Amino acid sequence: MNRRNTDNSQDVVIVGCGRLGAMLASRLSRSGNRVVVIDKDGTAFALIDAGFSGFQVTGDAVEQDVLREAGLEKADCLLATTEKDTLNLMVAQVAKIIFEVPKVLARVYDPKREGLYLKHGIEIISPTSLTGEKFLHLILDEQVPS
């Protein structure tokens, strides 16, 4: 178990139970992973669908105690998905450096912030860049028929 398991299932901690966090929690749980979701608002967990068999922790992920309660010490993966860039970036750094979580992914809206955190081995997912590229791709594909 935990970080050394032989099957494909992983211990995943998700910070933020908005639309993205809830979707990831449901999908990862249904595909057999052990999932813990953290949100400071206890009513947010209503967004997770019925197939979810993981755990919920109500608290502020900026506090190490809350991360510990979610079992971050033995997690294989942390996903920081709140609406707030600075919160995702802080939690991601704490997960990587203090809790030594092998895989850390953070959603960051502002592309200007991305470069700062690469040296820690945190993977940044920027919805702004992804959406922009998709738009451009579709527009350019139409403009330049191949």
In the complex, the residues that contact other proteins under the rule CB under 8 A are: 62-65, 84-87, 89-91, 93-94, 97-98, 110, 112-113, 116
Determine the Cα–Cα distance for residues 19 and 24; give it in Å rounded to an integer: 9
Considering the complex, state which of residue 9 and residue 58 has its C-beta at the smaller distance from other proteins: 58
Considering the complex, state which of residue 12 and residue 94 has its C-beta at the smaller distance from other proteins: 94
| Shortest CB 116 distance to other proteins, Å | 5
Considering the complex, state which of residue 59 and residue 71 has its C-beta at the smaller distance from other proteins: 59
For 72, what's the count of Cα atoms within 13 Å in the CB-facing half-sphere? Answer: 30
Determine the Cα–Cα distance for residues 146 and 144; give it in Å rounded to an integer: 6
Locate tokens 């451009």: which residue?
A: 136
Considering the complex, state which of residue 9 and residue 129 has its C-beta at the smaller distance from other proteins: 129
Please, which residues have CB within 8 angstroms of residue 60's CB and are 6 or more apart in sequence? 40, 66
Considering the complex, state which of residue 98 and residue 139 has its C-beta at the smaller distance from other proteins: 98
| Shortest CB 115 distance to other proteins, Å | 8
Structure tokens at 75: 């997690």
Please, which residues have CB within 8 angstroms of residue 137's CB and are 6 or more apart in sequence? none
| Shortest CB 122 distance to other proteins, Å | 12
Among 67, 7, 54, 2, CA closest to 26:
54
| Shortest CB 78 distance to other proteins, Å | 15
| Shortest CB 74 distance to other proteins, Å | 19
